[in-house]
């Protein structure tokens, strides 16, 4: 019997993150992430080099800064996706992935998508950055669902039960 079936029989909630991680949607997210990594690498090694030569000094500095942030962001996302795929495929336990995941940084790659520095960047680079930020947000959301505090965590459930208990006592219940 699957853990999902036993959760349903026991009246426990189905954990969204675990269900999503094993779905076709995750596989599509994985493919999208890897394709974005490849597309970005091809751009930065090809057209991006050419376009960066035509930028002003300030534009060149913005290009260098943002392309480094972009590649770092994408490498961290790719690392996370590969770890999760390894868990899904049974190549790694969740505990092993958690140890490795501690080396992956999904947050803190600030990029301003407005202003003079941003406006100086080539359109293709801006598009890649924006797509990587959206992908990062989706991966962070999934990471939180899988490894962060789940909405039905025991502590949360106990807090809710405590509130129900207070309400019941206030209105004369047990």
CATH number of the domain within which 109 lies: 1.10.8.930
Number of independent structural domains in the chain: 1
Question: Which has the closest alpha carbon to 67: 52, 77, 86?
Answer: 52
pTM value is: 0.71
Residue 174 lies in a domain: no
Q: What is the pLDDT of residue 159?
A: 60
> b/e per residue, 155-164, with b = 16+ CB within 10 A?
eeeeeeeeee
> Is 169 among the domain residues?
no
Give me the domain span that covers residue 126.
Answer: 15-149
- At residue 164, the pLDDT reads 60
Read off the pLDDT of residues 81-138 as tens digits, 9 standing for 90 and up: 999 898 888 898 888 888 888 888 888 767 777 777 888 999 999 999 999 999 999 9
Whether 37 maps to a domain, the answer reads yes
pLDDT of residue 134: 94
pLDDT one-digit tens code per residue, 38-78: 999 999 999 999 999 999 999 999 999 999 999 999 999 99
Q: pLDDT-derived band of residue 155, with 50, 70 and 90 as boundaries?
A: very low
The whole-number pLDDT of residue 4 equals 45
User: What pLDDT sits at residue 48?
Assistant: 96
Domain assignment present for residue 97? The answer is yes
* 110 domain residue, yes or no: yes
Q: Of the candidates 156, 161, 155, 152, which has an alpha carbon nearest to the alpha carbon of residue 169?
A: 161
The DSSP result for 24-48, as a single string, is: HHHHHHHHHHHHHHHHHHHHHHTHH
């Amino acid at each position: 019997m699957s853990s999902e079936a036993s959760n349903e029989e026991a009246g426990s909630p189905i954990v969204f993150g675990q269900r999503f991680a094993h779905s076709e949607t995750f596989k599509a997210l994985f493919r999208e992430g890897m394709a974005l990594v490849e597309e970005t690498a091809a751009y930065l090694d090809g057209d991006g080099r050419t376009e960066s030569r035509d930028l002003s000094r300030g534009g060149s500095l913005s290009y260098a800064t943002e392309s480094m942030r972009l590649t770092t962001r994408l490498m961290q996302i790719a690392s996370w996706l590969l770890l999760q795929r390894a868990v899904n495929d049974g190549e790694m336990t969740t505990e092993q992935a958690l140890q490795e995941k501690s080396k992956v940084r999904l947050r803190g790659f600030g990029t301003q998508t407005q202003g003079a520095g941003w406006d100086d960047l080539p359109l293709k680079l801006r598009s890649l950055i924006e797509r990587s930020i959206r992908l990062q947000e989706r991966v962070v959301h999934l990471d939180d669902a899988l490894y962060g505090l789940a909405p039905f965590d025991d502590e949360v459930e106990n807090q809710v039960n405590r509130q129900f208990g207070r309400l019941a006592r206030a209105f004369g219940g047990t």
